[in-house]
C-alpha cells in the first residue's frame, strides 16, 4: 500500500511533471473509482481545469485545480498514477485516464480496483481531512504529543500508530520497521511505555519515513512512481517480510504474527515483551 513516503514521492513527481498542465478531458474506465460526485459529473467537472499544485495530506494525494476545486486520490493497496502508458492497458486494470495538454495522458492503474477518487471543493476537502492526526514530519509532532495522546490508553502500540486520527500516513510496512528500530514490541500496551521509549518511537518514526522518502518509496509488490519506476527502500527493510530470516541486529529469527488483524513482523529478542503486558484490543481505530 502506498504510505506517506510513496505518496510523497508521487506528489513530488507530479509537481515537476504536471503542475501547470490543463486537463483537456477525463475518461472514467471503472466507475467504482469515483466516490464524489457521480462519475459523469466527475469527468465533466475536470474538463478544462488546470493543475495548479500537487500536495499530500496523510495518504491522500491532492491535485489542486483552478476554480478552487481539488482532485483527491486514495491509492489504497495497488494504485499507480502513471504519466507513461502502462505496458498493458486492459480496461480491467485501468480506472481513470486524464488527457493533458501537450498530447500527454495520466493513467490511474490498479489491479486491485480499490483506488478511490473525489472531486471536491475547498470546503468539502477541509471536511474530508478534518479528523486526520498530525503529519509526523512536521514540527508539531514530537514525543510529548505521542505521550499526551497515547500514554493513558491500554491499546497495543501498533494499532494506535496505524490509527490515522493519531498520526497521519503510517501504514503496515513502516510501522513494523519503526517498532523494530525503537525496540518496542508491536503488542506493547501504550500505557506501559517509558519516556525514553516515547522518545525512541518519535525518533524512529521520523528516521524511517525520511529514509523511505530518500529512497523514493518501498516496492514490495505494486508501488511505482509516476514514470513507472519501483522504489528502492525495500532494499533497506530489516523486519518487514523477513520472517524466518535472522535479525540483522541480534541473530534471532524474525517472526510473523497477526497483530490487530495485520500481518506483523518483529524480532522477539530486540523487541522483548515485558512481563505482565497482556495484549488488549481497543475499538474505534481508523486504519485506512
Are the beta carbons of 119 and 48 closer than 8 angstroms? no
The answer to whether 101 and 25 have CB atoms below 8 angstroms apart is no
Three-state secondary structure call for residue 31: helix
Name the region of 54 (left: φ>0; alpha: ψ -120 to 50; beta: rest). Answer: beta
Return d(Cα 245, Cα 7) in angstroms, integer.
29
C-alpha cell at 32: 467504482
Do 50 and 100 contact (CB within 8 A), yes or no? Answer: no
> What is d(CA 118, CA 42) in angstroms, rounded to the nearest whole number?
8
Give the residues across from 263 on adjacent strands: 258
Question: Any idea which residues carry the catalytic annotation?
Answer: 2-3, 59, 262
CA-wise closest residue to 74 among 168, 204, 210, 178: 168
Distance CA 225, CA 287 (A): 23
Amino acid at each position: 500500500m502506498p504510505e506517506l513516503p510513496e505518496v510523497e514521492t508521487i506528489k513530488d513527481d507530479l509537481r515537476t511533471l504536471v503542475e501547470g498542465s490543463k486537463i483537456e478531458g477525463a475518461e472514467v474506465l471503472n466507475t467504482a473509482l469515483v466516490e464524489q460526485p457521480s462519475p459523469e459529473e466527475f469527468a465533466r467537472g475536470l474538463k478544462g481545469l488546470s493543475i495548479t499544485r500537487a500536495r499530500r495530506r496523510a495518504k491522500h494525494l491532492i491535485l489542486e485545480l483552478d476554480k478552487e476545486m481539488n482532485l483527491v486520490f486514495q491509492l489504497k493497496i495497488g494504485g499507480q498514477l502513471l504519466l507513461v502508458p502502462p505496458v498493458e492497458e486492459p480496461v480491467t486494470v485501468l480506472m481513470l485516464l486524464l488527457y493533458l495538454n501537450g498530447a500527454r495522458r495520466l493513467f490511474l492503474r490498479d489491479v486491485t480496483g480499490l483506488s478511490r477518487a473525489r472531486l471536491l471543493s475547498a470546503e468539502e476537502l477541509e471536511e474530508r481531512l478534518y479528523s486526520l492526526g498530525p503529519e509526523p514530519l512536521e514540527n508539531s509532532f514530537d514525543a510529548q504529543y505521542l505521550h499526551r495522546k497515547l500514554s493513558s490508553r491500554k491499546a497495543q502500540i501498533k494499532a494506535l500508530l496505524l490509527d490515522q486520527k493519531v498520526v497521519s500516513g503510517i501504514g503496515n510496512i513502516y510501522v513494523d520497521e519503526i517498532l523494530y528500530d525503537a525496540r518496542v514490541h508491536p503488542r506493547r500496551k501504550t500505557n506501559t511505555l517509558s519516556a525514553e521509549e516515547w522518545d525512541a518511537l518519535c525518533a524512529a518514526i521520523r528516521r524511517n519515513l525520511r529514509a523511505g522518502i530518500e529512497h523514493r518509496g518501498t516496492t514490495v509488490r505494486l508501488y511505482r512512481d509516476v514514470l513507472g519506476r519501483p522504489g528502492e527502500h525495500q532494499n533497506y527493510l530489516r523486519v518487514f517480510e523477513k520472517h524466518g530470516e535472522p535479525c540483522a541486529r541480534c541473530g534471532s529469527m524474525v517472526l510473523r504474527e497477526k497483530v490487530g488483524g495485520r500481518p506483523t513482523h518483529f524480532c522477539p529478542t530486540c523487541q522483548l515483551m515485558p512481563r505482565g503486558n497482556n495484549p488488549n484490543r481497543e475499538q474505534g481505530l481508523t486504519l485506512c
